[in-house]
Structure 1
Amino acid sequence: MASCGFCLNHPTITFITLPINSYRPKLGPLCTEGRHGAKTMAEVVEVLVPGGKATAGPPLGPSLGPLGINVKAVVDEINKKTASFNGMQVPVKIEVDAKKNFTLTVGIPPTTALIKKEAGIEKGSAEPNAKVAGNLPFEAAVRIANMKLEGMLSYELKTAVREVVGTCVSVGVTVDGKKPKEVLKLIAEGKYDSQLAK
């Protein structure tokens, strides 16, 4: 038998097999559960609710009930913060921490939904280039742009309004009675600058 070069005798190696349950890694504090099974890390619930008309029924009630927080308080807060989006589906994020405190983040409905609401129409034109579905006052385009400014790629109001007016093309909505492309040209020429001054 050849020598290993490090020792004169080759000791016998014994392998010990442990049952799976005898060794369990300890979980960090973020993964542990409290006395009643409540997780110590924040729970996040994301839902779509009707603006200003959320209720404790689905989808909110079943999602929030198991978290042990005051569902009515959450619903009231949501309705207060989404009242201006009446008639639209609004994305809402609720974060609940281990102490049952909640933080509410209200998203903004899509630009097309805001345009339809401001133009007083239920749906856009099936043939946007041929048929007009409604008209959007320029002031309403500015209002929508202000709402959407943070989430847009635009860095200034003028560019944000151009994006809103551009969306009117696909919805089949005129702006101040003019074709959206005409209005885009007028914005570029500075005709609306006085209305775009913050």
Structure 2
Amino acid sequence: MPKKTLKIVVEGGNAKPGPPLGPTLSQYKLNVGEVVKKINEVTAQFKGMSVPVTIEIDTDTKNFEVSVGIPTTTSLLLRKAGAQEPSGDPMHKKIGNISMEDVLDVAITKKPSLTAKTLKSAVKSILGTAYTIGLTVDGKSPKDLVKEVEEGKYDNLLSKYEEKWESS
């Protein structure tokens, strides 16, 4: 029962049977339309975001399983801000503003793929990404907020999310 694993990145809910996905699936003699339909079903909640997908294929039976990874931090932040793409010039061009609660939500969502051991360090990491793509947080530069997080100014808010962090 040889297994083959394919790792791809698709737009959530919008995978297409064309290249490169279609030809890759065809070489394993899979029904491309069926696989694409399944990918779109399991990624629908991430519509418009880049999502990593893993397809496990049993090459003997032609059975497959699709599992979805966590979208990139950038994709999650852009969605929270209602923006389409990063600024390209984050120093001079801001693309949106999000709340500190949004940052905490993204940190909790990304916990399985972060190396951060604490919620506080995860928040600082997410703030760093927000800064590099041109977002402000609560109307301030994320760089300034990193300092405020280190100084303990957000400890009360962080403590409200600590339980979610521990259970995720």
Specify the alignment match of 1:168 in structure 2. 130
Specify the alignment match of 2:6 in structure 1. 45
Residues 71-120 of structure 1: per-residue CA shift (max 9 Å, x gap): 33322322222122211222222121122221223222321222122212
Correspondent of 2:65 among 100, 103, 107:
103
The answer as to 2:48 corresponding to 1:87 is yes
State the 4+ residue runs in structure 1 displaced beyond 4 angstroms.
Answer: none
Identify the structure with the greater helix proportion.
2
| Aligned-residue offset at 1:191 | 4.3
The answer as to 2:22 corresponding to 1:57 is no
Residues 2-28 of structure 1: per-residue CA shift (max 9 Å, x gap): xxxxxxxxxxxxxxxxxxxxxxxxxxx
Aligned length: 159
Residues 43-84 of structure 1: per-residue CA shift (max 9 Å, x gap): 222222111112333333221123233433322322222122
Contact 1:125 1:172 in 2 (8 A): yes
| Aligned-residue offset at 1:163 | 0.9
| Distance of 2:91 and 2:82 partners within structure 1 | 19
Calculate the TM-score normalised by the size of structure 1: 0.69
In the alignment, structure 2 segments of 5+ residues that lack a partner are none
Residue identity matched to 1:193: L
Calculate the TM-score normalised by the size of structure 2: 0.80
Specify the alignment match of 2:120 in structure 1. 158
Decide which moves more: 134-143 or 66-75: 66-75
Query: How many percent of aligned residue pairs carry the same amino acid?
Result: 41
| Distance of 2:121 and 2:85 partners within structure 1 | 25
Structure 1 residues 128 and 73 mapped into 2: Cα distance closer, same or farther (>3 Å)? same
Structure whose CA Rg is larger: 1
How big is the alpha-carbon RMSD for the aligned residues of Structure 1 and Structure 2? Answer: 2.1
Residue identity matched to 2:70: I
| Distance of 1:74 and 1:43 partners within structure 2 | 14
Residues 145-174 of structure 1: per-residue CA shift (max 9 Å, x gap): 122111111123332222111111111211
- For 2:67, what is the secondary structure of its paired residue? strand
Residue identity matched to 1:56: P
In the alignment, structure 1 segments of 5+ residues that lack a partner are 1-39
Residues 27-47 of structure 1: per-residue CA shift (max 9 Å, x gap): xxxxxxxxxxxxx52122222
- For 2:27, what is the secondary structure of its paired residue? helix
